[in-house]
Amino acid sequence: MSAQPLAATLLGRSPRRPAGWLRAYLVMLRFDLSSQRTWLPFAVAMQILLGAGMAIIYGFYVPHLPRAGILYLVSGAPALSLIPLGMVIVPALTGQQRTAGTFDFLWSLPVARGIQVASTLTVCSLIAVPGVVATLALATWRYGVTLSISPAVIPAFLLTSLMASSVGLGLAHLVRNPMVVNLVTNILIFLVLLYSPISFPKSQFPTWLADVHEGLPFYHMAVVIRASLTTGLATDVGTSYLVLGAWTLAGWLAVGWVMSRRR
């Protein structure tokens, strides 16, 4: 969708009434979807790499896992696959938009910034779906396990991908230099993959590290997803949902702060 019709459409809407908001949101959504379509292959590739890829790699490093351990590993793979969404894909996308000057255009439109952010987050969360599905398929096939999928899958995945996208967006707007963001996220991913009790139980981790992860979102992502894919393997799921909600809010606050600063 090109820029001029977009601007015309948005100008014609009243931003105050809820119906106006909804229409503006849908129009922005169409704009975002078409402009970010090119990122889909990259996003899916990264997610499969870090999700299924890591799950398979762990199997090489630790060859004789017991049955429960394998189930733990596989049910953690989607969390691993969503982390690059927030830490690599969203920041890279935002960085590219910033370099290309897209924000200067978007932010000059008479659309509430909140709507623009909502649209971006929707698209980023949608991008997550193929990657996660592929990851689960690969991991279950490789290890020959079957998962007991419950309806909790929907809120679990929605919340985790929303949280990952929100935090990623906040991070991307806080740090300006795209190469710095690139490096920082690569470093962080590395740390997260190694030091998070996602693929292996928390009991294998030193207590101080386990405590740190009570505050960070990564462990809780895994808990929430694991609870929806298995029975009896995840505990204290309610706390995890709360922590994820808090992190999502934090992401929104960061984005809101950066945008208001710009005015």
Nearest distance, CB of residue 263 and another protein, angstroms? 23
| Sign of the four-CA dihedral 56, 225, 78, 88 | negative
Nearest distance, CB of residue 255 and another protein, angstroms? 24
- Rounded Cα distance, 81 and 209, in Å: 22
Shortest CA distance to 161 belongs to which of 207, 120, 209, 100? 120
What is the largest distance, in Å, between two alpha-carbon atoms of the chain?
A: 63
Restricting to residues 4-43, name those near another protein by CB under 8 A: 42
Stretch that binds another protein, among 58-66, 117-125, 239-247, 251-259 (CB under 8 A): 58-66
Residue pair 167/250 in contact (Cβ under 8 Å)? The answer is yes
182 touches another protein by CB under 8 A: yes
54 touches another protein by CB under 8 A: yes
* DSSP codes joined into one string, 193-207: HHHSTTSS-GGGS-H
> CB-wise, 3 or 187, nearer to another protein?
187
Stretch that binds another protein, among 7-15, 20-28, 44-52, 124-132 (CB under 8 A): 44-52
46 touches another protein by CB under 8 A: yes
Give the residue, chosen from 2, 151, 179, 263, that forms a contact with another protein under the rule CB under 8 A. Answer: 179
> CB-wise, 177 or 239, nearer to another protein?
177
Q: How many residues in the chain?
A: 263
Shortest CA distance to 48 belongs to which of 161, 171, 130? 130
> CB-wise, 6 or 164, nearer to another protein?
164
Shortest CA distance to 168 belongs to which of 70, 241, 95? 95
Using DSSP, state whether 142 is helix, strand or coil.
helix
200 touches another protein by CB under 8 A: yes
Stretch that binds another protein, among 117-125, 130-138, 190-198, 239-247 (CB under 8 A): 190-198
Structure tokens at 258: 């950066």
143 touches another protein by CB under 8 A: no
Q: Work out the burial of residue 73: count CB atoms within 10 Å of its CB; fewer than 13 is exposed, 13-18 middle, 19 or more buried.
A: buried
150 touches another protein by CB under 8 A: no
Give the residue, chosen from 149, 174, 187, 242, that forms a contact with another protein under the rule CB under 8 A. Answer: 187
Binding site for another protein (CB under 8 A): 42, 45-46, 49, 53-54, 56-58, 60-63, 69, 92, 99, 177-180, 182-184, 186-187, 190-191, 194-195, 200-201, 203-205
